[in-house]
Amino acid sequence: MSAYLSTRVSLFSGHLWRAEDFTALLRAPTAEIPQTLVDGGLVQLAGLIPGNDLHSLEQSIIAQLLDETLVLLRPLTGSARAFLLYWTERFEVTNLKTLLRGKMTDERPAALLNRLTPMGAFGHLDVRELAHAEDVAELLRRLESGHYAGIVRQARQAFEDSHDPFLLDAALDRGYYEGLAHRARQLEKEIGPALRQLMEPLIDRINLVWLLRYRFNYKLPPAQVYYLLVAAHSGLSSSRLKELAALSSLADVLAALPEGLRASLGGAATIPDVFARMEHSAAKSAEKVLRSNAPAIARAFAYLILRERDLRGVRAILRGRNLGLPEAMIEHTVGPLAREGI
């Protein structure tokens, strides 16, 4: 298993884009965009240009990630396979949220189904049946008897207490990432600490960005903010997050962070700044794991983190160009990908 997976990860790592690849896409004449994508190994995305349907673009990006994950899964068994499979379920949780929002707005089943991302062999939801549920209550009841019962049950309680669709989404997200963190801890017992180098920055970023958004954009009270965060066992601990949630401004939160994280976020003035800096730092950690002698499953996960980041950067460039945005604005949105790589 280990030899096959290591070889496959090494081959896949050649698919990762370099800084000059993003620059080429950013500056290519419109007629040359498809060939630039083909040269970058993104044949599926090239087929969408020049029409650049944004929904189809997003679906193609996810399809690319699922196809590559399927290859990496082939030799895996046990907790390693369960972890990587669970990582793909983020996309189906998004489908689940789309179904719930569609029911809240009485969207027609056909239109609702058209907005879902095809999951292929990774799918657990009977989306056609769920799309025809009578209302949100029935949809939640059906979901509670299926694969996502654990996260849906907690989310349903949050929704019934408030009938706020935002809190329903937030509770589903928290449930998913707590499941991911739990599976990572189980796998770490088998393969050692390499996985923690990837999971700690991921959970820290999720928790800190959520905390800032919930507290200062949505004006939620500290206790509710803390309830919606992922239980943390390393990095930004749950006790530290509870203290941060009680602070009254973004600047106060950043000033109260542990020294290393505070230094890396020095000068950040907005929540998007915080997200971008933490994402870039996490990508550097993933790059180190990918290029190291870490266990193959940790290197595979590092590759998938970096691959998804690349594809999101490609998406941002294509969207920006489709909207006719200035090159400098697109480059700023994409961030360090197009300037310095990782």
Q: How does pLDDT run across 23-76, given as a tens digit for each residue?
A: 999 999 988 998 999 888 888 888 776 555 667 888 889 999 999 999 999 999
Give the count of alpha carbons within 13 A of 1, CB side only: 13
The per-residue pLDDT for 161 is: 78
The per-residue pLDDT for 337 is: 59
What does the mean pLDDT of the chain come to?
90
The per-residue pLDDT for 333 is: 75
The per-residue pLDDT for 9 is: 96
Give the long-range contacts of residues 170-176, CB within 8 A, separation 24 or more.
170/210, 170/214, 170/228, 171/228, 172/93, 172/96, 172/97, 173/93, 173/210, 174/228, 174/229, 174/230, 175/150, 175/151, 176/89, 176/90, 176/93, 176/151
Is residue 226 very low, low, confident or very high in pLDDT (cuts 50, 70, 90)? very high
The per-residue pLDDT for 342 is: 44
Is residue 92 left, alpha or beta, with left meaning phi > 0 and alpha meaning psi from -120 to 50?
A: alpha
Distance CA 314, CA 135 (A): 37
The per-residue pLDDT for 79 is: 95
Domain boundaries, the chain: 193-294
> Each residue of 190-206: pLDDT tens digit?
999 999 999 999 999 99
> Each residue of 139-194: pLDDT tens digit?
999 999 999 999 998 888 877 877 788 888 999 999 999 999 999 999 999 999 99
